[in-house]
Amino acid sequence: MEVYILPNEEEIGSAIADRIEKLFSANPEANLGVATGSSPLPTYRELIKRVAEGKISFSKSHFFMLDEYVGIAEDHPERYHNVITTEIASQVDVDPANVHGPEGNAPDLAAAVKEYDELIREKGGVDLQILGIGSDGHIAFNEPGGSLVSRTHVDVLTNQTRVDNARFFDGDLDKVPTHCVTQGLGTIMDARELCLVATGEGKAEAVAQMVEGGISALWPATIMQMHPNAHVFIDEAAASKLKLIDYYREIQAARA
Ligand code: F6R
């Protein structure tokens, strides 16, 4: 796992956009894994800028979302498909028909989650997956206690995640859905490259566990230690509980 400690979220967004630009210059048909939440927003702003400047094109790409709420109205602004459309897809040159997500309102959810994994495989897999992390160590909606090799599945949101996400639902916990469909940890681990963003002190414990803790269902993101091409982009606050922080800084300086 490569750790990058950067001064602010703009620099994090720019560093991830650099990796994406490099990937798409080499392979314009690469597929991008997109996450919702606040962590990827600076990256999306940077990508939108670079597409407008002609530095990157997503015209031959497929976007794959990580997760979706179950039972949320199709036109709800917090439906993840709508969030991704607003925050990035509609502002870049990806074909809207190529923006895919697990279907949270399918009549047969069990069949729909299988079809989603098949679709990812059929389109050649995800080349670079952008990720955030929950304060309880979840990635996508893989909450603590789940399988470390799961595929896309229906899951129950923990109270902690619902509390964290209530800010997107007028601060009203009762409005936050209780279930979701999410790529499994096994599905996420199939992506060829992972770029995880975490900022702020609230993420410091989860980051320390993810990078330095024992691999455990208690902190789902720890599975990323087994990925051969995983990059973690954090600010000083999110890095504050890392035991080997000086070592990561040394490696980072040597890379530059
Ligand atoms: C969203 C997702 C979640 C978020 C996580 C962090 O698609 O997969 O795992 O990445 O909850 O959310 P933020 O970035 O809002 O702190």
Render pLDDT for 137-155 as a digit per residue (tens, 0 to 9).
999 999 999 999 999 999 9
Domain hosting residue 235, numbered range: 2-135+143-255
User: Region 224-242: what's the mean pLDDT?
Assistant: 98
Amino acid at 133: I
Instruction: Let me know if 170 is a catalytic residue.
Output: no
**pTM score, whole prediction:** 0.96
Pick from 117, 167, 146, 129: nearest CA to 222: 146
Render pLDDT for 173-218 as a digit per residue (tens, 0 to 9).
999 999 999 999 999 999 999 999 999 999 999 999 999 999 999 9
Number of domains in the chain: 1
Report the SS3 class of residue 155: strand
| Contact residues of ligand 1, CB 6 A cut-off | 35-39, 66-67, 132-134, 138-140
Hey, which bits of the chain come out as E strands?
Answer: 2-5, 32-34, 63-65, 67-69, 99-100, 128-131, 153-156, 179-182, 193-198, 230-234
Q: Indicate which CATH number applies to the domain containing 99.
A: 3.40.50.1360
Instruction: Let me know if 136 is a catalytic residue.
Output: yes
Amino acid at 87: E
Render pLDDT for 62-85 as a digit per residue (tens, 0 to 9).
999 999 999 999 999 999 999 999
Render pLDDT for 101-142 as a digit per residue (tens, 0 to 9).
999 999 999 999 999 999 999 999 999 999 999 999 999 999
Nearest CA to ligand 1 atom 8: 140
CA 51 vs CA 106, 127, 149: distances in Å: 33, 18, 35
Q: Which of 62, 81, 100, 138 is catalytic?
A: 138
Pairing of strands 193-198, 128-131: parallel
Is the pLDDT score of 164 beyond 90? Answer: no
Instruction: Let me know if 100 is a catalytic residue.
Output: no
